[in-house]
Structure 1
């Protein structure tokens, strides 16, 4: 697990004030880390073009070119005239040792984007947009300095000091490439401060365990899933849950002759139920009274899909140990229903962190999994991003499998937050482990892969 930050300016300031490190020293370490990456991955005298802006991101690029000069065929393309104090200083140093300047984007082995960094908040001119298009059209290996400039698509982003949340917006997924952190002369453990945002690593996954030998099927929980006429979704969730360690699964409600033999059916909640799942393929089969009866208990609950458009969501939001797993459209509907925000899906996607924080501030007892390219898991003021999702999961039924994974852990007694984190990680790992073409992954493939986690 790694820390995530809104900005690192305050972390840099602490280096100046507490550790007697100057801006110049931090920049030298940053660019040395970038230079080391290039030296490790490309042969000596390879051609490198560094495209630089006017501010400190451009200064990083100019300093990088100076450090590579002599060992690489490096040149600087000035997208903007150097203006910041550090950019002018680095330009002076680069010129002093003879780093050359180029005036068009030529063929090269490595192309470095150092146009704008995290401090940029304006609009790109048409001229800069045209330049970005040319850079993207290049066949060179593309590196972004700290964060990709607007529209630039990097093969790798070498980010300075610590990980930034903006690198993990859904919209950033196609732009950042591989992300690596460059140290700034001190360990990240010292540079980084406290934060409520974290990035999940695959090694954070903790699978269900069956350490107790003297046990039976009831020892591992009983998940009850509300089953409407669209029972395929409920069956996928039930099958997923059964594979993920829960001892018993019962579909409650609409009866379907296609239910697998390993899954039970009942017209009301079994007496030994330990967790509930509600929403997957629910449709309109349940009356408000039947839903009230289903929820007339204190069991842990996973709620998904249809439930976000139904009045019963108000009752769910008042419960303890609840996990909600909306995708973007469902979350927008939830925000509108709770009168927290009336926004479009596009606005949500640009401000996912903001609206997740808004929701959990108002509903601190709810655990949220906002699904997406980089799913966000949140509870109260603690937040996690799972960056391991793939486009293979963009398939009907994938979310139902996730709900089953979550429900299985809840039924086995895991806390809501631990259930959300581990189910989300398992879900993305299942997709990554799939050996077929990404477009061919089905929910059944995910379920069958659980045994190989």
Structure 2
């Protein structure tokens, strides 16, 4: 797992470690790792460090000190380094001295209160190969201040690659929220541990490729709870269900699907496709789209009656394409009365009753996108859910006493119990296509039927679904995503030949 810790937890660990080290050691460790990452970027951009030009955007805190010490390392390797000081009177003294000693120079940012003419920032950036964002550290709240916005506007317009120091300035490290103007980095070099804002949208979209520099915090974070966790290939592989020598279709898990309608028969077909590709021993379908389902998947066990009369299942999926008529409402009530895990998606989310969900003794998994989540939260603005995904998922889980898979640019999974949320790292904008969410519902439902907990089923399903979307891209439709699940499952089970692509994939899409 890739664990992300709160600012308070990281700072407590830093204090413990710093108490055992000579003064300044921790900052120099961080700066050395930052400089090495920048050297790698310069090697790709220019071909070498020597002779390159680097601009540091330096704020008043330790974040600015990290940038200054890193600039000193780069200057010693022959780079021309200029620090633009947003608050010259409060710049990190030791870092500034180290930069000047190494041959770098420092100038005041436009608008800074100093004697002499301000720097010609557009001209400086016009010659730059790389910019380091050391404006605000992990303790920052809200967007950039007006003076920093003015500087960032010039940097953005110059189009120079930007490396953020620990976290892009202007984003919230603890929540991933972006309340105002924030830096958009090409890459972020973070120190000691990931921060939640590097995993959670919308801040994640500002971070670029994330590199973690080990500065020795591991022993001091041991035993502390992360805020968020992102599964890796090995984590998912350990959870994948598989048949044993004694398995039959019932022991492998039977997934019930109550989906589709005369208007939306395809939703039923796609949910069944996801369930069949998710390792279910059998899939029972109950609903009005039986003919369409059997025509596409003759192995499906179909029933024309209510879900409760369809036969034994180990989990139900209800909602995709149901509509909102009386029959749909009765279907949702019937499924929620079952004493097995239930996944509720799409139209089913509009028909659930909060008290009925809260009173269930078997696990319930809700899989809304931001608009559906906003409605479940009594009509809060959709934009609020999208900007505060962590708190929205947690509040939904608490209110409904259910596990919540909040779909979107980054999928967030929260349970009714206390503990870290799970964040899916494999999402892709190519999943923003009609019916993709129906496939996900069936897939996760089959994992529930196989015996995974709601939390694990959601995490494994989202991870595989994201990889399938990447494999099926470009121009994938939902059936392509379903078809890609088989090879993706095999790849994860056998172990990755290479790590899954991360932030380079671009913006995530809602399913």
Q: What is the TM-score when the length of structure 1 is the normalising length?
A: 0.90
2:244 match: 212
1:90 match: 95
Cα distance in 1 for residues equivalent to 2:129 and 2:223 = 37
Q: Is the 8 A contact 1:303 1:324 kept in 2?
A: yes
Which runs of structure 1 show a deviation greater than 6 angstroms over 4 or more consecutive aligned residues?
A: none
More moved, 286-295 vs 216-225: 286-295
C-alpha displacement of 1:33: 0.5
Q: Is the 8 A contact 1:307 1:313 kept in 2?
A: no
Cα distance in 1 for residues equivalent to 2:133 and 2:102 = 22
Cα distance in 1 for residues equivalent to 2:383 and 2:289 = 39
Cα distance in 1 for residues equivalent to 2:89 and 2:211 = 28
Which of 73, 81, 85 is residue 87 of structure 2 equivalent to?
Answer: 81
C-alpha displacement of 1:304: 0.8
2:366 match: 324
Cα distance in 2 for residues equivalent to 1:291 and 1:359 = 19
Report matched runs for 1:103-252 at 5 Å.
Answer: 103=119, 104=121, 105-121=125-141, 123-150=143-170, 151-184=182-215, 186=216, 188-191=218-221, 194-196=224-226, 197-206=228-237, 208-229=240-261, 230-252=264-286
Q: What is the TM-score when the length of structure 2 is the normalising length?
A: 0.80
Name the SS of the counterpart of 1:11 in structure 2.
helix
C-alpha displacement of 1:290: 4.5
Deviation per residue, 1:214-250 (Å, 9 max, x gap): 4333332221211342221121011111122112212
Cα distance in 1 for residues equivalent to 2:241 and 2:395 = 35
Matched, 1:414 2:448: no
Cα distance in 1 for residues equivalent to 2:352 and 2:398 = 21
C-alpha displacement of 1:289: 4.2
Cα distance in 2 for residues equivalent to 1:123 and 1:79 = 19
Cα distance in 1 for residues equivalent to 2:197 and 2:471 = 27
Name the SS of the counterpart of 1:449 in structure 2.
helix
Name the SS of the counterpart of 2:433 in structure 1.
coil
Matched, 1:314 2:350: no
C-alpha displacement of 1:442: 1.1
Q: 1:362 to 1:83 in 2, by over 3 A?
A: farther
Cα distance in 1 for residues equivalent to 2:343 and 2:425 = 22
Q: 1:226 to 1:123 in 2, by over 3 A?
A: closer
1:292 match: 333
Matched, 1:304 2:310: no
Q: Is the 8 A contact 1:65 1:74 kept in 2?
A: no
More moved, 342-351 vs 286-295: 286-295
Q: 1:203 to 1:82 in 2, by over 3 A?
A: farther
2:386 match: 349
Cα distance in 1 for residues equivalent to 2:78 and 2:159 = 18
Cα distance in 2 for residues equivalent to 1:23 and 1:332 = 49
Q: 1:192 to 1:176 in 2, by over 3 A?
A: farther
Q: Is the 8 A contact 1:161 1:191 kept in 2?
A: no
2:482 match: 447
Q: Structure 2: state its 5+ residue gaps.
A: 108-118, 171-181, 489-511
Q: Is the 8 A contact 1:107 1:138 kept in 2?
A: no
2:105 match: 100
Q: Structure 1: state its 5+ residue gaps.
A: 337-341
Q: Is the 8 A contact 1:218 1:248 kept in 2?
A: yes
Deviation per residue, 1:269-302 (Å, 9 max, x gap): 3222221111111112425444433333201111
Report matched runs for 1:262-411 at 5 Å.
Answer: 262-266=299-303, 267-269=305-307, 270-285=310-325, 286=327, 288-319=329-360, 320-336=362-378, 343-364=380-401, 366-379=402-415, 380-382=417-419, 383-411=421-449
Q: 1:263 to 1:396 in 2, by over 3 A?
A: same
Deviation per residue, 1:88-146 (Å, 9 max, x gap): 23213323443223532232222211111112225534443232122223343321111
Matched, 1:61 2:67: yes
1:39 match: 39
Name the SS of the counterpart of 1:258 in structure 2.
helix
Which of 12, 15, 24 is residue 14 of structure 2 equivalent to?
Answer: 12
Count of matched residue pairs: 440
Q: CA RMSD in A?
A: 2.3
Cα distance in 1 for residues equivalent to 2:23 and 2:364 = 47
Q: Is the 8 A contact 2:54 2:131 kept in 1?
A: yes
Cα distance in 2 for residues equivalent to 1:173 and 1:77 = 26
